[in-house]
């Protein structure tokens, strides 16, 4: 089954073709990062307008790189949420038009399910059940993937997402947006014990996360150095921040894996590109005798092939949408989109 997939939930317009959920036939990503950089974050209105310009050429390129015409595609898939509503609407409406015009089934895909599925493209042996840590600019979840289309949230952030915390700390340290990878690079040159940062936990919850206290601590630290007129130890603060975030994430992931008796842990989302998080997860998994899957770095950030992969499993489970499909800004990962029918 060859699925043409579209992703436009944030500042990337992407299209790709995936065969049987596991094989990438083409993957095209048009990123707007340079455009949003000057505002220090994504401007939703600009993202939607750029998606309108990009959606057709990006889709045409994805088909042409796969060596296929629209009539040779078996289904059209699209991220229908969660994300920026104006940005999502561009992909959703374009996908509905394509599906209708070409008389193809339409498969809506949840963005987080897509991030998890990025792993199926790189690890042919990976099958649910497994425990997945999804960490991106918009989400931080520990999810028990019971089956390809059955998900249970075990823990989540109560405030900022991990990527959001990275980006805000990076801004305070003087890095451009999105700052996660700059902190990652600076941390490699720093001493994680040179400064002290708090390890916030959430009262009454073993697996939930909170990053706002940590972010505020970094901001305060930066102010203190600047007020004293001292040079900011950017590398040391980066290293300490990164170490703290990794400890917070892996502590909860492995505690949950132990309690749920899952023998495989998986990372997903933009922050899964983080070098320390990858190293620590691999090392802890080996130490505890668990299998570990990491998405290849190019598949950690937003792309369309992860949507095409998950769409295959949604289709196998019989989940399709009609042209009344709407985009939604938020939706729990375990729930279906409104109007989805089973066939
Ligand atoms: O998954 P993604 O592309 O978009 C969302 O769905 O949110 O994730 C983007 C996030 C940004 O916050 C970015 O700073 C972060 O992933 N990120 C990183 C690294 N590379 C990207 N964070 C930490 N270390 C990295 N190497
Ligand atoms: Zn994402």
- Domains of the chain in start order, with CATH, are 2-116+300-342 (3.30.420.40), 129-295 (3.30.420.40)
3-state secondary structure of 212: helix
Contact 218, 241 (CB under 8 A): yes
**In terms of Cα–Cα distance, which of 276, 10, 15, 307 is closest to 136?**
10
For residue 37, pLDDT over 90 is answered with no
Where do runs of H (alpha helix) occur along 125-274?
Answer: 162-172, 180-187, 212-227, 234-260
Where do runs of H (alpha helix) occur along 123-175?
Answer: 162-172
Where do runs of H (alpha helix) occur along 15-147?
Answer: 33-37, 44-66, 85-102, 111-122
Ligand approaching nearest to the C-alpha of 241? 1
Identify the pLDDT of residue 327.
Answer: 98
Element (H, E) at 235: helix 234-260
Q: What are phi and psi of 53, to 5 degrees?
A: -75, -35
State the pLDDT confidence band at 162, using cuts at 50, 70 and 90. very high
* Ligand 1 in reach of 270 Cβ (< 6 A): yes
Identify the pLDDT of residue 230.
Answer: 94
Using DSSP bridges, classify how beta strands 2-7 and 130-135 pair: parallel, antiparallel or unpaired: unpaired
**In terms of Cα–Cα distance, which of 249, 271, 152 is closest to 199?**
249
Q: How far apart are CA 149 and CA 156, in angstroms?
A: 19
Place of tokens 């995936």: 18
Per the omega criterion (within 30 degrees of 0), is the bond before 82 cis? yes
Contact 209, 156 (CB under 8 A): yes
For residue 34, pLDDT over 90 is answered with no
**Close Cβ partners of 12 (under 8 Å, ≥ 6 residues apart):** 29, 30, 31, 32, 301, 302, 303
Q: How many CB atoms lie within 10 A of CB 259?
A: 12
* Ligand 1 in reach of 244 Cβ (< 6 A): no
* Ligand 1 in reach of 312 Cβ (< 6 A): no
User: Tell me: the pLDDT tens digits for 167-225?
Assistant: 999 999 999 999 999 999 999 999 999 999 998 889 889 999 999 999 999 999 999 99
CA 23 from chain center: how many Å? 20
Identify the pLDDT of residue 36.
Answer: 87
Using DSSP bridges, classify how beta strands 140-147 and 130-135 pair: parallel, antiparallel or unpaired: antiparallel
Token readout for 246 is 């990794």
* Ligand 1 in reach of 178 Cβ (< 6 A): yes
- CA 295 / ligand 1 centre spacing (Å): 13
Question: Which of 245, 270, 297, 300 for mutating ligand 1's site (highest number of atoms within 8 Å of CB)?
Answer: 270
- CA 72 / ligand 1 centre spacing (Å): 34
User: Tell me: the pLDDT tens digits for 39-79?
Assistant: 888 899 999 999 999 999 999 999 999 999 999 999 999 99
- CA 189 / ligand 1 centre spacing (Å): 20
Q: How far apart are CA 169 and CA 247, in angstroms?
A: 17
**In terms of Cα–Cα distance, which of 183, 198, 200 is closest to 276?**
183
With a threshold of 0.85, does the pTM exceed it?
yes
- DSSP-derived letter for residue 157 is B
């Amino acid at each position: 089954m060859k699925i043409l997939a579209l992703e436009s939930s944030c500042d990337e317009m992407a299209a790709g073709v995936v065969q049987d959920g596991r094989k990438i036939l083409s993957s095209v990503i048009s990123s707007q990062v340079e455009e949003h950089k000057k505002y220090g974050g994504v401007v939703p209105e600009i993202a939607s307008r750029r998606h309108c310009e990009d959606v057709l050429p990006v889709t045409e390129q994805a088909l042409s790189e796969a060596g296929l015409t629209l009539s040779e595609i078996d289904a059209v898939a699209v991220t229908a949420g969660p994300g920026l509503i104006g940005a999502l609407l561009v992909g959703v409406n374009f996908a509905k038009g394509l599906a209708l015009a070409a008389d193809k089934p339409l498969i809506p895909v949840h963005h987080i399910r897509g991030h998890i599925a990025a792993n199926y493209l790189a690890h042919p042996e990976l099958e649910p059940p497994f425990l997945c840590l999804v960490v991106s600019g918009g989400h931080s979840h520990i999810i028990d993937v019971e089956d390809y289309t059955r998900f249970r949230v075990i823990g989540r952030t109560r405030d900022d997402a991990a990527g959001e915390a990275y980006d805000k700390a990076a801004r305070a340290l003087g890095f451009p947006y999105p700052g996660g990878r700059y902190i990652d690079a600076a941390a490699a040159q720093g001493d994680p014990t040179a400064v002290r940062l708090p390890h916030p936990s959430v009262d009454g919850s073993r697996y939930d996360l909170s990053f706002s206290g940590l972010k505020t601590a970094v901001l305060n630290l930066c102010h203190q150095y600047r007020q004293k007129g001292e040079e900011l130890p950017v590398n040391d603060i980066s290293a300490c921040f990164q170490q703290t975030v990794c400890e917070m994430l892996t502590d909860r992931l492995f505690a949950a894996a132990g309690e749920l008796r899952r023998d495989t842990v998986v990372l997903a989302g933009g922050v899964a590109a983080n070098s320390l998080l990858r190293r620590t997860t691999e090392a802890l998994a080996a130490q505890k005798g668990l299998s570990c899957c990491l998405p290849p770095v190019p598949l950690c950030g937003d792309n369309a092939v992860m949507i095409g992969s998950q769409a295959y499993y949604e289709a196998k489970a019989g989940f399709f949408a009609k042209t009344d499909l709407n985009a939604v800004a938020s939706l729990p990962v375990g729930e279906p989109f409104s109007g989805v029918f089973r066939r």
